[in-house]
Structure 1
Amino acid sequence: MAGYLFSLDSIDSLMNCIDKGTYSTRLSLPSGGLWKIHHEGTFADYSSMAEGDNVYFFIKRKIYGIGILINISGECKFLNYPKANYPDTPDYDTIKSKLILDNGSKESLQYRFVCTFKPSPYFFKDGIDMDETLASAPNQFKILRAFWKLSFIKFSDEENQAFKNIILRRNIEVINNSSIINTIQSDFVKSHLQIEALVSNNSDYRLTTVPFLNNINNPNGSLKHEMAIEASLIHQLTNLEENAVEVFGKWDYLTHQIIASPFKPIDYMDKMDIFGYKYIKNQKPTISNFLVIEIKKGQVEVQDVMQLMKYVDWIKNEYTYGDYSMINAFLLGHSYTQEAIDTYQDIVERKYINGVRPSVSKTWNNVRLVTYNFDITKENLIYEII
């Protein structure tokens, strides 16, 4: 299962989250009736949340855990109030009775998305210092090292297990002796029942991409923000929308903006637009395939093909250890230059050796070129392999 690390400013904030069994990111107000790129990125992160993912909190160098996302009425993430994903701000007094999270002021309207969780097995009182966490499994922590200027991050099964390992080891006495009162207790059940009363059979609280796409589409069917395409595609694949799955397949883990370069100053790191993987059927957590998608909002050019292949080689080195056959790569844009198509045909092929005694020479070229188009009647993105 994946994991999420949420950044908070105080222990009081942590207690409030745990007591309610909810977390919400405070977002700046939209400007000029439009969402900004960081708003779209936050939507993408919430869209990929799934029941069973773990939850941790980060406060002043220390990491607290452990929680697990749980579904309420079939979902573990919601809009905080109807149309919270639209780029406008309603009157607080008018919408107050429909808020999932309400701190008693209009500031509550800045909390647009909410996820729900419970302790698993406990939320332990003592946090683990960031340095101790990193030192406990240096080869497993990848995304944590790039946690910079973000409200929260998502990380893979392997890194999630490393988080759990250090927290559980440091709290063995608590786990083995229930008489030791060393856990932060939670009264989340009452809060979850109140949420259920609001969201049950009410689609107004479900996350949708419509308001993120309608206001930034161009007359030719392209979008103005690449992040909006990332968010839409992650949402469509997570919800198994037919067209998206037909083109890109089904994936058990999806995320975006994943580091794909040697460690260096964060602002200069290369990032994959969409990254994912799937498990061998009924054999979780054994991974069968990895996904990488490079996205361009307009016309795909030669350098974009080169960038995708750089990511393919990075995954080969960092995740599949030489086995290209595990990689599924896609280039997604609104259109392609002929030069980009010609370059694609010339450079995507990879020769590699598979196995030992006997070793077998193999060829890989599993790269697909895909176009997207905003369908104004369906208010959604449509994908097509070229």
Structure 2
Amino acid sequence: MAGYVITFSDFDSLFECATRGVYSTRVKIPKNNLWSIINEQTFADYTTMKEGDNIYLFSKRKIYGIGKLINIGNDCKFKNFPEANKPNPYTYDDIRSETLIGDNVWGEDGKELRWICTFKPSPYFFKNGVDMDTVLMSNPKAFKMLRAFQGLSFIKVDHQEDKALMDIILKRNELNLDGQLTEQLIPFNTTYHNKIQEKVEGNNNYTFNPIDFYNNSAMKNGLFRRETTVEISVLYQLASNDKETSMVFGNWDYLSRQVVASPFKPVNWMDKMDIFGYRYIKGYDTISKYLVMELKREEALVSDVDQLLKYVDWINNEYSFGDYSMIKSLLIASNFSEEAKIHAKNVGSRKYTTGLRGESVSEEWNDISLVTYKYDESREKVEFEIV
């Protein structure tokens, strides 16, 4: 189970969003008909959203209850209008009749709402929020991403952080959990979900996919202009259970981008893993394997191998606690220098010990894979291949 913490500039905006059960990030429209890095990062943050993930609404130091992403039709995320993935400076009149949430209430701002997600209270959104300091002090070891929540519209947290966040909110609102004190709850109206259902049912024009981002960033040699587009392709194709992609990377229950991978310090100085994930033992909520990826738009160098291995050691210390066998690492690039290939073989291993006392066994880890990417325009799909 994952969680998403969404930030609002004021309580009125938060209240409106909670009442409607629909969220959309306001996107600054590019003037050169090319998506910016920030635009692509925002889109990437939506790619792994799925039904059942929790939603937390945050404004001015406080978090106001818990919601849950729900599917309307086949998904919980959509393009707000059919051409939303094209970085064109539409006017509101251009898209007024086609938007999912761009009616007269949103007005001219509707053109800046490109992607939406749908959710419901679970159990409730509360009018009295829980202070962030109270949250962080409730379970200090559990919170990693929440401590680095700065300058973003929303962040994703893993199951441990999600559980800790839910626990403190429920404890602080225990007297309201029976729903009887309605004056303490933010009301929820299904009207907007019904309107969205009417438009998306049987209509693929609102389906969330990155094809326009691929085409917008693609170059003649199959490379992308930005690493964020490579990031989008990996996350989207894995989250969509694309068989060819899963054959290379495996199947994962949790995937996230730009996950903190260094001791806490000013956010701008923190190292972040491009992609981090894990999977459970089937039928249990026990993690069996962790995933880390380092992505490069062009050729990967020796320094990129070292950076990936730095993240491997971080996961070993922070998540798998000495068991390197739980870690799978991949370096994705357009190609690899010969020096990088040799370096990966020479330094891409770790010796460690399993068991205790008389049962101690010496092991060696070398689960590092080099993977090339190439965009196939004819298939509108990114192809990955292990070197």
TM-score normalised by L of structure 2: 0.97
| 1:46 counterpart letter in structure 2 | Y
The residue number in structure 1 matching 2:78 is 78
Deviations 1:58-111 (A, max 9, x none): 111111111000000010000111120111133422421211112342221101
Whether the aligned pair in 2 keeps the contact of 1:85 and 1:207 (CA below 8 Å) is no
| 1:193 counterpart letter in structure 2 | N
The residue number in structure 2 matching 1:207 is 208
Deviations 1:31-69 (A, max 9, x none): 311001111111111111010111011111111111000
Kindly state the Cα deviation for residue 185 of structure 1 after the two structures are TM-superposed.
1.4
Deviations 1:191-222 (A, max 9, x none): 11111001111111111111111122222211
Whether the aligned pair in 2 keeps the contact of 1:256 and 1:275 (CA below 8 Å) is yes
Deviations 1:228-268 (A, max 9, x none): 11011101100011221110011111111111111111111
The residue number in structure 1 matching 2:355 is 355
Pick aligned residue for 1:128 from 127, 130, 134:
130
Whether the aligned pair in 1 keeps the contact of 2:19 and 2:186 (CA below 8 Å) is no
| 1:128 counterpart letter in structure 2 | V
Q: How does 1:235-246 map to 2 (within 5 A)?
A: 235-246=236-247
* Cα gap change, 1:177 to 1:268, in 2 (>3 Å): closer
Distance, in Å, in 2 between the alignment partners of 1:308 and 1:179 is 51
Distance, in Å, in 1 between the alignment partners of 2:384 and 2:192 is 40
The residue number in structure 2 matching 1:169 is 171
| 1:116 counterpart letter in structure 2 | T
**Identical-residue share of aligned pairs (%):** 47
Q: CA RMSD in A?
A: 1.2
Whether the aligned pair in 2 keeps the contact of 1:25 and 1:111 (CA below 8 Å) is yes
Q: How does 1:25-104 map to 2 (within 5 A)?
A: 25-102=25-102, 103-104=105-106
* Cα gap change, 1:258 to 1:179, in 2 (>3 Å): closer
Distance, in Å, in 2 between the alignment partners of 1:243 and 1:177 is 47
> SS of the counterpart of 1:43?
helix
Distance, in Å, in 2 between the alignment partners of 1:304 and 1:75 is 36
> SS of the counterpart of 1:68?
strand
The residue number in structure 2 matching 1:150 is 152
Q: 5+ unaligned residues in a row in structure 2: which ranges?
A: none
Kindly state the Cα deviation for residue 175 of structure 1 after the two structures are TM-superposed.
1.6
Structure 1 runs (4+) deviating above 6 angstroms are none
Q: 5+ unaligned residues in a row in structure 1: which ranges?
A: none
1:289 aligns with 2:285: no
1:185 aligns with 2:174: no
Deviations 1:133-189 (A, max 9, x none): 1000100011000001111100000000111101100111112572563211111x1
> SS of the counterpart of 2:110?
helix
The residue number in structure 2 matching 1:311 is 311
> SS of the counterpart of 1:67?
strand
Distance, in Å, in 1 between the alignment partners of 2:378 and 2:179 is 60
TM-score normalised by L of structure 1: 0.97
| 2:165 counterpart letter in structure 1 | F
* Cα gap change, 1:163 to 1:104, in 2 (>3 Å): closer
Distance, in Å, in 1 between the alignment partners of 2:90 and 2:153 is 24
| 1:234 counterpart letter in structure 2 | L
